[in-house]
């Protein structure tokens, strides 16, 4: 679907811009920050001292008491994680911090996506019982694990649920639940990733252990929890949660540690495997390079590979596991490309309305699609058509599993909740966020669900913009097309979900154009009325259109970036959208 360019405006009008200018901020950055809702330079002070305190997170103190009591009598603790990057970083942080606090019996378990599915199920509790746990701690899951928690309780195992997913109508009967999105929690940052939640629990636990004089009594050096912020940054960015002020502090501080060479060995090895320089790493490097390699373990193999990489204590072990994760990610790309080709055939048969627009909601299923890759495919389809999309793959015992992605204005978990209420038993399980969710159902119910999904989405689109668009920070003056500006913008973030990297738009003359790497368009451009030449690249273009020497002028939506090649740094425009004029 063709995208239109829309200019961003400041939510506060000129007031926020003026206030930021008064703080001696560069005018371009003042404009950019203002359009993202920043009204004061205080909101740009990303020091750890500005973090929300753990005392504001409901039940963090009770979780700390539960864990401190467990440590005091050497209880066995099992961490149950999730099979994505947030789950892997959450698990690694919980295991590492508890061991640093003096826990002698800490192990972890991550459900294999293909055998057990998501979360603390009764089957996972049975598996965990092999380690004879006294306490199960869920990270990045558990808020919907009603049956699993009941099974643990029946076995005499205490359960601490730490999660950030939206709760359902019923909560599990855990000893303690820590989730900023539960109804009674007044924690103002509702956007913590799973790794952010367990980090806060560890902050509360350290405070509780201090009160008990635990560290001095046991001769343990009190851990510096800032050492875990590289994990928090990686999990937060990879899970694509909104970067509100609190999350920007967590990510900024984690990136600072990585750039200073103080990242854990596993993250360093993953950066090296993805050819990223740790000294100049930014949030997008975590999101588009490190995160996918970590996620590949959960998609194709077992997330324990990723967790062991993050837990590695030697360079050789970290490098070997990072290489394995890189190989898995390459395999994932091949599988994804095959699935995209198959999906394209199905999408070509979609019924278009009289204006040649796609349906309001898209459901796709094909036997043989890889269960671990359907989420990525759903994202690709959603991006192409700008429609809520669910892609299904075969599960076990006559079931299919779906991965959903949505657009702004369509809360996908609420859509699934409404369908589940309207058609009891149609959806067997579901959970997730506004923009992403997962579900399972009987294979024979796919057609009925597809109709119900389309009908439910149709009830919610009246005020939703169904036209795909790119939000731009406007047109850049010629003086800003320089390496210094690109470098300043690169490190002015961290940029991410709901605090996006600056995008600009403008008209350019095409001086040169050629395809590189099979489907990427390499350009040399000039500004209208200027002789300055600019390098640019547009990834994954339609090679049926490009290159085309008859196209002399284009409208671009682009980002300023720093290209590093053979030790030379130069300005490069990263093209997000290109339209011939």
- What phi and psi values does residue 420 have, to the nearest 5 degrees? -60, -35
Among 1.10.1200.10, 3.10.310.30, 3.30.70.20, 3.30.1340.30, name the CATH number for the domain at 350-458.
3.10.310.30
Query: How far is C-alpha 273 from the geometric centre of its chain's CA atoms?
Result: 20
pLDDT class of 339 with cuts at 50, 70, 90: very high
| Triad 399, 434, 382: Cα angle to 5° | 70
Of the candidates 450, 402, 564, 576, the residue with the CA atom closest to the CA atom of residue 505: 576
Model pLDDT for residues 479-533, shown as the tens digit of each residue: 999 999 999 999 999 999 999 999 999 999 999 999 998 889 999 999 888 889 9
Dist. CA 112–CA 262, nearest whole Å: 31
Residues 131-160 as b or e (16 or more Cβ within 10 Å = b): bebbbbbbbbbbbbbeebbbbbbeeebbbb
What are the strands, taking DSSP E only, across 288-388? 362-365
Phi/psi at 326 (nearest 5 deg)?
-65, -40
What is the pLDDT, as a whole number, of residue 21? 61
Q: How many CB atoms lie within 10 A of CB 575?
A: 21
The dihedrals phi and psi of 149, each to the nearest 5 degrees, come to -65, -40
By the 8 A CB rule, do 504 and 471 touch? Answer: no
Give the mean model confidence (pLDDT) for residues 59-68.
98
Taking residues 187-203, what's their average pLDDT?
Answer: 97
Average pLDDT, stretch 377-396? Answer: 93
Report the alpha-carbon distance of residue 534 to residue 302 in Å, rounded.
44
User: 2.40.50.460, 1.40.20.10, 1.10.3810.10, 2.60.120.330: which CATH number matches 4-45+469-580?
Assistant: 2.40.50.460
| Domains 4-45+469-580 and 50-262 belong to one CATH topology | no
Nearest to 139 by CA among 206, 198, 200: 198
For residue 354, pLDDT over 60 is answered with no
CA angle centred on 537, ends 383 and 477, rounded to 5°: 100
Q: Is 114's pLDDT higher than 80?
A: no
The whole-number pLDDT of residue 508 equals: 96
pLDDT-derived band at 72 (thresholds 50, 70, 90) equals: very high
Determine contact, residues 28/560, Cβ cutoff 8 Å. Answer: no
3-state secondary structure 136-202: EEEECCCCCCHHHHHHHHHCCCEEEEECCCCCCCCCCCCCEEECCCCCCCCCCCCCCCHHHHHHHHH
Query: Where is pLDDT greater, at 354 or 157?
Result: 157
pLDDT band at 14 (very low <50, low <70, confident <90, very high): low
Cα radius of gyration (the chain): 24
pLDDT band of residue 352 (cuts 50, 70, 90) is low
Q: Is 115's pLDDT higher than 90?
A: no
The per-residue pLDDT for 107 is 96
pLDDT beyond 90 at 216? yes
Give the rounded percent of residues in the chain with a pLDDT score beyond 70: 96
Residue range 307-329: average pLDDT? 97
Question: CB–CB of 439/404 below 8 Å?
Answer: yes
Which of 9-18, 29-38, 241-250, 520-529 is predicted least confidently? 9-18
Q: 0.75 cut: is pTM over it? A: yes
Rounded CA gap, 55 and 209, in Å? 15
pLDDT tens per residue, range 141-180: 999 999 999 999 999 999 999 999 989 889 999 999 999 9
Positive or negative: CA dihedral 439, 445, 449, 452: negative
Q: Where are the domains of the chain?
A: 4-45+469-580, 50-262, 350-458
Token digits of residue 99 = 């061991």
What is residue 252's predicted lDDT score, i.e. its pLDDT?
A: 98
Domain 50-262 classification at class level: alpha beta
Q: Which two tokens stand for residue 540?
A: 């994954």
């Amino acid at each position: 679907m063709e995208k239109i360019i829309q200019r961003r405006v400041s939510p506060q009008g000129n007031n926020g811009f003026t206030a930021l200018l008064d703080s001696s901020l560069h005018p371009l950055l003042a404009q950019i920050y203002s359009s993202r809702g920043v009204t004061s330079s205080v909101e740009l002070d990303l020091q750890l001292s500005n973090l929300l305190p753990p005392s504001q997170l409901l039940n963090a103190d009770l979780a700390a008491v539960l864990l401190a009591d467990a440590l005091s009598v050497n209880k066995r603790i099992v961490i149950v994680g999730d099979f994505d990057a947030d789950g892997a970083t959450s698990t690694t942080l919980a295991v590492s911090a508890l061991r640093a606090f003096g826990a002698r019996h800490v192990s972890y378990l991550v459900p294999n996506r293909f055998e057990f599915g998501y979360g603390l199920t009764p089957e996972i509790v049975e598996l965990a019982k092999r380690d004879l746990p006294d306490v199960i701690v869920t990270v990045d899951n558990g808020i919907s694990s009603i049956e699993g928690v009941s099974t643990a309780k029946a076995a005499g195992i205490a359960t601490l649920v730490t999660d950030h997913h939206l709760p359902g109508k019923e909560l599990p009967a855990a000893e303690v639940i820590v989730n900023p999105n539960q109804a009674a929690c007044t924690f103002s940052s509702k956007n913590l990733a799973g790794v952010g939640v367990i980090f806060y629990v560890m902050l509360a636990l350290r405070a509780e252990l201090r009160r008990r004089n635990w560290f001095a009594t046991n001769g343990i050096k009190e851990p510096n929890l800032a050492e875990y912020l590289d994990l928090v940054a990686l999990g937060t960015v990879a899970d694509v949660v909104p970067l509100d002020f609190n999350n920007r502090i967590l990510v900024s501080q984690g990136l600072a540690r990585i750039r200073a060479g103080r990242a854990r060995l596993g993250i360093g090895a993953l950066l090296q495997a993805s050819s990223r320089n740790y000294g100049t790493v930014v949030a997008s490097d975590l999101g588009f390079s490190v995160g996918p390699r970590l996620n590949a373990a959960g998609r194709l193999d077992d997330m324990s590979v990723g967790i062991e990489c993050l837990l590695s204590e030697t360079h050789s072990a970290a490098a070997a596991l990072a290489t394995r994760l890189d190989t898995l990610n390459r395999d994932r790309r091949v599988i994804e490309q095959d699935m995209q080709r198959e999906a394209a055939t199905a999408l070509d048969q979609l019924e278009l309305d009289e204006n040649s627009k796609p349906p309001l909601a898209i459901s796709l299923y094909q036997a043989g699609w890889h269960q671990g890759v359907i989420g990525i495919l759903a994202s690709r389809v959603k991006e192409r058509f700008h429609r809520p999309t669910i892609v299904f793959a075969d599960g076990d015992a006559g079931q299919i599993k779906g991965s959903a992605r949505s657009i702004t204005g369509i809360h996908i978990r609420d859509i699934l909740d409404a369908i589940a209420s309207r058609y009891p038993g149609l959806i067997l399980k579901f959970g997730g966020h506004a923009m992403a969710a997962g579900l399972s159902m009987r294979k024979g119910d796919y057609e009925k669900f597809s109709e119900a999904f389309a009908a439910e989405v149709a009830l919610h689109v009246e005020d939703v913009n169904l036209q795909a668009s790119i939000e731009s920070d406007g047109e850049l003056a010629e003086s800003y097309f320089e390496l210094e500006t690109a470098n300043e913008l690169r490190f002015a973030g961290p940029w991410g979900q709901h605090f996006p990297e600056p995008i600009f738009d403008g008209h350019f003359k095409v001086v040169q154009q050629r395809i590189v790497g099979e489907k990427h368009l390499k350009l040399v451009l000039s500004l209208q009325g200027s002789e300055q030449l600019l390098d640019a690249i547009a990834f994954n273009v339609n090679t049926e259109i490009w290159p085309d020497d008859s196209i002399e002028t284009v409208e671009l939506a682009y980002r300023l970036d720093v290209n590093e090649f053979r030790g030379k740094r130069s300005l490069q425009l990263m093209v997000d959208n290109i339209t011939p004029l």
